[in-house]
Amino acid sequence: MKLILSSSNIMISGETIIRHPTEKSNVELINSLRTNFQAAQHAAETTNNSSSNRPPYTTWTKQGDNALYIPATDFANGLSEERSQYDITVKLFYLPGIPASRRCAHTREAIDLVLKELHVDSIDLLIVSFPGILFDADDDSDEEVSSDNGSEEPDDFDSMIQTWRTLEGLQEQGMISQLGVAEFGSERLARFLPHTKVKPSVDQINLKDCCVVPKSLILYAKQEHIQLLTHNDCMDILPVGTTRDLLGPGEKGAGILASSPDAPDGIQGDVEPQWVVKYTAVVKDRGVVENKGYFALADVGSCVKERS
């Protein structure tokens, strides 16, 4: 079964100017999901006049198309002004340990949810974050993080190219105006670009010391007309253990997963997060984030393979 987790619009408490600092993405993701779950649970308690500390998950989630929406959502709100008034940026995180063969389906799932949530038929920029790439500003290194046995996945680069083909197809269909990558240094960009029909217009990098971008990357990006942006997102935004805690029967859990192998109080099976997508809609003329949120998808079942 698929579990579709939604934060809803985390900006509803008030307008936030985009230059203001934000929480790290993994903290913001978990906090916003947990807050949205608790709001839905409270609404279910009120509707059912229940005094239970935690209403059954079936009262505040929605089942459909072999997926459980957590919480239930009717995608009713959307943006408040005309589509032309917004810059919509989406960042899709492909998670570590998930086969690259799933990325085509995952990309379409994630984009479709964002379009449905915002009531639009296109986004302005999609940035994709491939797992295992860590940018190092000190030496402009963009090598994959080594696995436990010290070796890199031999087909990682090929899988990135295959994934990019999917993104190019969505761009050709008009769903995405511009494409971007994350954590690419100059060497990786030089290797990657010859294999693309649509070059990335953005390279988003994480500068741990927030000051110096390597000169080689600045020069290469300028030559290829690629805009350099910075971020403070983490590599593994939604680990397995964090997902279990979020959905489990514990004090801070949502009560989606069963409390024991034989318990009837939740869904049985191991949980494995598949992807996370972050979306931001900025009102162009005011520089204000009107709508920002997250979706995440996890698979749950007895055959789900756990990753470290």
Helix (H, G, I), strand (E, B) or coil at 99: coil
CA–CA separation, 134 vs 183, rounded Å?
A: 6
Residue 297 within any structural domain of the chain = yes
Q: Are 79 and 122 in contact (CB under 8 A)?
A: no
Backbone angles phi, psi at 117, to 5 degrees: -65, -40
Query: How much is the pLDDT for 73?
Result: 87
Residue 22 within any structural domain of the chain = yes
In this structure, the number of other CB atoms found within 10 A of the CB of residue 193 comes to 14
Structure token digits, residue 278: 């972050």
Q: pTM (2 decimals)? A: 0.89
Residue 176 within any structural domain of the chain = yes
300 vs 76 pLDDT, higher one:
300
Query: How much is the pLDDT for 66?
Result: 85
DSSP per position, 53-105: SS--GGGT-EEETTEEEES--------SS-GGGEEEEEEEEEPTTS-GGGHHH
Query: In DSSP terms, which residues pair with 94 in a beta bridge?
Result: 275
Residue 37 within any structural domain of the chain = yes
Distance of CA 219 to the CA centre of its chain: 30
pLDDT tens figures, 138-181: 655 554 444 333 334 445 899 999 999 999 999 999 999 999 99
Residue 149 within any structural domain of the chain = yes
pLDDT tens figures, 114-146: 999 999 999 999 999 999 888 866 655 554 444
Residue 307 within any structural domain of the chain = no
Amino acid at 20: H
CA–CA separation, 109 vs 27, rounded Å?
A: 23
How many structural domains comprise the chain? 1
Average pLDDT of the chain?
A: 87
Nearest CA-CA partner of 56 in 267, 301, 270, 242: 267
pLDDT tens figures, 2-49: 999 999 999 985 444 443 445 678 899 999 999 999 999 999 988 776
Residue 306 within any structural domain of the chain = no
Query: How much is the pLDDT for 238?
Result: 96
Q: What range defines the domain where residue 7 resides? A: 2-301
